[in-house]
Amino acid sequence: MNFQETPPVPEPFEFTSDDHVVFVDSTDPAAVRVEISLRGLALDDLPHLGEALLLLHRLNAAARPIHPWVASIDEDDMLLLSATVPAPDRPALTAILGEGLARAHALDALWSTARDGKNTPAETLQTWTSTPNPLQFA
């Protein structure tokens, strides 16, 4: 399944896009939770772990007033991107998933550069902090 073929909300569903696993669930009829698993992290093997973790905090702080996407690391050291949004109709959900996948690709690139101790390209940061389409997040 790709995100263009989304089932009706609130039915939970999961699909894979590139290397990312996307899970959509609605435990509340007024909201939908989207979670994108990006990659497993070998945190013990990262020479620049402090810089990479600091990047996550700075990304979340920069994006907090702009969009609802939050980058985190779960208990299994999986890099996640998640958002809870008002329950959308199918076209809006497709737009949300498209935006989430674009931000996931940007986050993945940002993590890779931070992991390697390199400077982050400005265009990748711009993708992460870009203003969302007002249709998607009221």
pLDDT tens, residue by residue, 94-138: 888 888 998 888 888 888 877 666 666 666 666 666 755 433 433
C-beta separation of 88 from 96 below 8 A:
yes
Q: How confident is the model over 14-71, as pLDDT tens digits?
A: 888 878 899 988 877 788 899 999 988 877 777 777 777 887 888 888 788 888 899 9
Residue 32 DSSP SS3 = strand
User: What are the C-alpha distances in Å from 50 to residues 24, 58, 72, 121?
Assistant: 31, 12, 14, 19
User: What's the Rg (C-alpha) of the chain?
Assistant: 15
pLDDT at residue 13, rounded to an integer: 83
pLDDT at residue 1, rounded to an integer: 46
pTM: 0.76
C-beta separation of 81 from 36 below 8 A:
yes
Q: How confident is the model at residue 83 (pLDDT cuts 50, 70, 90)?
A: very high
Q: How confident is the model over 21-35, as pLDDT tens digits?
A: 999 888 777 888 999
Report the half-sphere exposure of 92 (CA within 13 A, side-chain side). 15
Q: How large is the average pLDDT for residues 75-92? A: 87
Q: Which domains does the chain have, with CATH numbers?
A: 3-129 (3.30.1460.10)
pLDDT at residue 37, rounded to an integer: 94
Helices within 3-89 (DSSP H only): 49-63
Q: Is the pLDDT of residue 7 over 90?
A: no
pLDDT at residue 5, rounded to an integer: 58
User: Which one has a higher pLDDT value, 81 or 51?
Assistant: 81
